[in-house]
Structure 1
C-alpha cells in the first residue's frame, strides 16, 4: 500500500473511532429513559476499533492511536520513519470527527458546549468522578500499557490467526468500563486532541496528560511484552503492522 493509502486508512479509522465513541457519549449516553450509559459508551468505543480493524487493518494495520503506533515501534513491529505520517493522519481524523460531532450536537436546541461538553478528557474538576491528576496519570499509563500488551499478543505470529480485532475491541471496551469515571478514558492522544480542539480552555490545558501518559504506557507495555514473550527471531519492523 502507498503512504497515501495508509494515511487515509488511519484518518478514516480514527475518524470512526472518535465519531462513534465520543458520539455515543455526547448524543446517546444521557438520552432520556433510553440512554446507553457508561456500558453503552464503552461498547461503542470497542466496536469502532473492531469494525475498523477488519476494514482497514490490511491497509494500514489499523493503529488509530499515536500511543499504539509508538508502542508498536517500541515492540519492534513498526518502522520509525512512518510514525509522523500515522500520527498526523490520526490527529486529523480525530479533529474532523470532533468538528462534525459538534455540528450534529448543536442541532439540539438545549445543547451547550460548556454544559454538555464533547466527551473531552480531563482530571480534577473535569474528571467525571472528580479524580485527581495522579489518579488520571496512573490509570492512563496502566491501561495503555495493558492495551498495547493485548495488541502485541493477539497479533503475534504465534497467536491464533484472525481473532486479533475481537481481542483488541473487547480490551478497549473493558478499558472504558474501568476508566470513564476517572478521565473519560483516553489511552489515545488523537482521541483526546479532537474534542479538546473544539472545547478549548481547560481541555487544551489538560491535554498534555493525555499525550504523555498514554505514550509512556505504550512504551512500558511494549517492553513488558517483549520481556515475557520474546520471539525466537525478532521480526523486522514492517509498514502497517500489526493487523
Structure 2
C-alpha cells in the first residue's frame, strides 16, 4: 500500500468514513446483507407460520441491530442500496464508492437467498415458487393493497429508515449506540409493512428472493426497487431541512454540486478531504 493510499484510508477512518477502495468495508456490506437476508427473510420463509408478522419484524430489527454493532464501525452497516443512495445524495459518499457498495450488497443478498433456498428445499411442504419471502402488491399483498398504495407505503417506510440512518451516522460509519435506533426503526417499519407489501424498504432484500421465487415476484419487483430509492431521496430532502448538514449535494460531482449548492467549489476537496466521503 502506497503512502498516499495509506494516508487517505487513515483520514477516512478518523473522520468517520470509509475509503473508496477499502476491501474490509465492501466485505462487511456483502456479509452483512447476506446474513440479513438469510436470517430475516428466512424467518418468513421457514418460520412465518409459527412466529407471525410480529416475530418476522423483530427478526429483521434484531438482525440489523446486531450487525450494526459489529460491522457499523467498518462500513456503516448499510446493507441496503436505498441507504447508500441517501449517503450519496447527502454528499457523504462518492458515486464510485456508492457503486461498489451497491454491488457488494446485491451480491451478498443473492448469496444469502441462495443459501436460504437450499435450506428451504430440505423442509417438506415449504413453498418457494412466487413466494419465498418476496414482496408483492395486489393479489400478492396479504391485505390486497393496490399498486399505488404499495408504492406510497414503500416510499414512506424507506424514507423513515433512511432518515434515521442519516441522523445517527458519523458521516458514514456508526458508533456503538447508533445501532439501537436503526434496528428499532427497521422493526417498526416491518411491523407496519409486512401485512401490506411484505416490507421491502431495501432493493437488495427484494431482488434476491424474487430471483428464486420467479413468476409474479419478478414482474412486481420494479416497484420494490424504485419506491425505496424514491423514499431515500425524500429522506435526504427532509434531513436537509431538519438538521444542520455540512455536506454539499452531490459533493463529489463538482459541476452538479456547484449548480445545486450555488457555489463554484467543493468544500471537501478544498480542505483536503478524501473523495470517498465528506466531513
TM-score, normalization by structure 2: 0.79
Aligned residue number for residue 22 of structure 1: 41
| Structure-to-structure mapping, 1:53-202, within 5 angstroms | 53-114=68-129, 117-155=131-169, 162-202=176-216
Q: Look up the match of 2:247.
A: 234
1:161/1:200 CA distance change after superposition, 3 Å? closer
TM-score under structure 1 normalisation?
0.90
- The residue that corresponds to 1:36 in the other structure is 51
Which protein has the larger Cα radius of gyration, Structure 1 or Structure 2? 2
Contact 2:90 2:247 in 1 (8 A): no
Deviation at 1:61, TM superposition (A): 1.3
Q: Deviations over 1:19-41 (max 9, x none)?
A: 111011111121xxxx1111110
Deviations along 1:14-61, whole A, 9 cap, x unmatched?
A: 00111111011111121xxxx111111001101121111111112211
Alignment length, in residue pairs?
A: 234
| Contact kept in structure 2, 1:74 and 1:223, CA below 8 Å | no
| Unaligned 5+ runs, structure 2 | 1-18, 249-267, 269-273
2:235 to 204, 215, 221: 221
Unpaired runs of at least 5, structure 1 = none
Runs of at least 4 residues off by over 3 Å: 233-242
Asked whether the 8 Å contact 2:129–2:212 carries over to 1, the reply is no
